Structures are given as C-alpha cells and as structure tokens.
Structure 1
Amino acid sequence: MQSFAQESTAITHKDLYSKDGLIYKASNDSIFSGSIENRRWTNNILLSKEDYKDGFIILVTEYYNKSKKGIPYMKTYFHDGLYFKKKKQDRLDFDGTIDSTIYFDENENKILEEFFSKGKLIHSCEYKDGKKNGKQFCISKNGEELNFIYKNGKKVQ
C-alpha cells in the first residue's frame, strides 16, 4: 500500500498575481482555481475566504470575527467571466439565514434589494441608476402587504 503526502501549505495572495483580468498562480504561471483563506495573524480567526474558478473570483465569504468556528456574515458572488464585478451580496444572521440580499448588474449598479425576517421576504425594491425604479413591496408593522411603483426615484402609485 502506497500513501501520498498531501501538501498542507495554504495559498495566500502572495502566491498569486493578476494579468489581463485573470488570477494566476505564481509558482507555475497557471490560471488559478481554488480558495484563499484570510486569517487574523494574532489568533488565527478566519476573517474571509475567496473562491476562484478559471482565474476569476466567484465568491468572497466574510466571517464574524468573534468566533473560531467561522460563522459567515456576508457572501458576495461575482459575475462569471468579469473581473471583480459583484452580482449578488447576501448578509447573513448568526444562524446562517439570509437577512438581506442586494443584486447588481454587470456595472455593479444596485438593481434589487431584499430584506428577510425568519426566512420570509418583508421588503423588496427595484433600482435603476441608483434610484428606486419599479416595484417596491413591504410588509407593514401590522402585517399588511404594501405595494408601490417608483419611477426615477419618485413614487407614482
């Protein structure tokens, strides 16, 4: 029986470089796919993790910094094939449920914002050019569903 030793060296930003909008591994000049963990040097607490595929970043997970377990509080997803262009950002509660989500177009302009309570959608609003534009949905304090229409930042209905 033959055993193979696994390389335990973690990849860091120092091991990578950027060229023509892609991330490469410096040791062999290959396009990078994999993960990088960023840890606090004083106590080794996980602060964030970056996931790459075919040279593009696809996900950044940020963690609450008071727990060695690594409880995520923010997940940022990126557009496929675009260099560091946010597509979606989820803010998470301690139990892992989504508290809010923001969606972005390919130019990183906010196009939709959603808020949740106990897994239920309680607020949703569409945006264009940084202003409310389109449908807005919310639930009032007494549980009533409210719907509005905005055009260029102004309520029209």
Structure 2
Amino acid sequence: MMLNVILEKTKFIFSIGFFLLTSFLYSQVTLKFEELYVNGDLAFKISNDSIFTGIAEGRRRNGHLVYEEYYKAGELIKSISYYNRTETPVSAMITEYYSNSFDRN
C-alpha cells in the first residue's frame, strides 16, 4: 500500500518535470526588430551573433503591435501586419514563406 503511494507520487513528479521541460524547449523567443540583423537571407541576434529562431516584433511608441516576423533557423517563414484600431490587434495581412523562396537562381 505504501509502495503504491510512493510510485504514484513519483509518476506525478516526473510527469510535471517532463511537461515543464518540453514547454521550455518549445517556447518561442520574442525580440524587437532592433535586436536582429540580416546577413544574406539569414537573421541573427545582435547580442550573441547566433542564428535566430523565434518572433521579431515591431511596435509603436504606445505599445501597439504593428508587425511580426517568424523565423526558423534564421529563415523568414511568416510575416503578419496588423490593424491597430482596437486594443487587440487584428491581422491585416499574413504572408507565409517557403524554403528557398528567396533564391534568385
């Protein structure tokens, strides 16, 4: 009986640990455009010159979200422009990019 209780608590602790680990691994980094630079077709973080994976945001001085770009391994995969007539941004235009979409060969 006592062994079953200990096993159940151990399973619970491991499942919470697994959930937290996977949440951490799949979280997106969100930066301002000013914190990135583009070299060729790849985006890099200015802070450590590493290839960027995550979301770059453009906001007005009042904090309204105007534009987002999504990057995966430095490549632009999606961009969203927003209308800002309300507190909650409404997407005006969504553009998805595919692998090698910027190749000029």
TM-score, shorter chain, exceeding 0.5: yes
Contact 1:47/1:63 (<8 A) preserved: yes
Structure 1 residues not aligned, in runs of 5+: 1-9, 86-105, 108-157
Q: TM-score, normalised by structure 2?
A: 0.62
SS in 1 for 2:31: coil
Give RMSD over aligned pairs.
2.4
Distance 1:81 1:22 in 2: 12
Pick 1 or 2: higher relative contact order, CA cutoff 8 A, min separation 6.
2
Distance 1:44 1:20 in 2: 30
**1:19 pairs with one of 3, 27, 39:** 39
Distance 2:35 2:89 in 1: 23
Distance 1:65 1:23 in 2: 26
Greater percentage in helix: 2
Contact 1:39/1:45 (<8 A) preserved: yes
Percent identity of equivalent pairs? 36
Structure 2 residues not aligned, in runs of 5+: 1-29
SS in 2 for 1:11: strand
Q: TM-score, normalised by structure 1?
A: 0.43
Query: What residue is the counterpart of 1:133 in the other structure?
Result: none
Following TM superposition, where does structure 1 have runs of at least 4 consecutive aligned residues deviating by more than 6 angstroms?
A: none
Greater percentage in strand: 1
Tell me the CA shift for residue 63 of structure 1: 0.9
Distance 1:19 1:46 in 2: 25
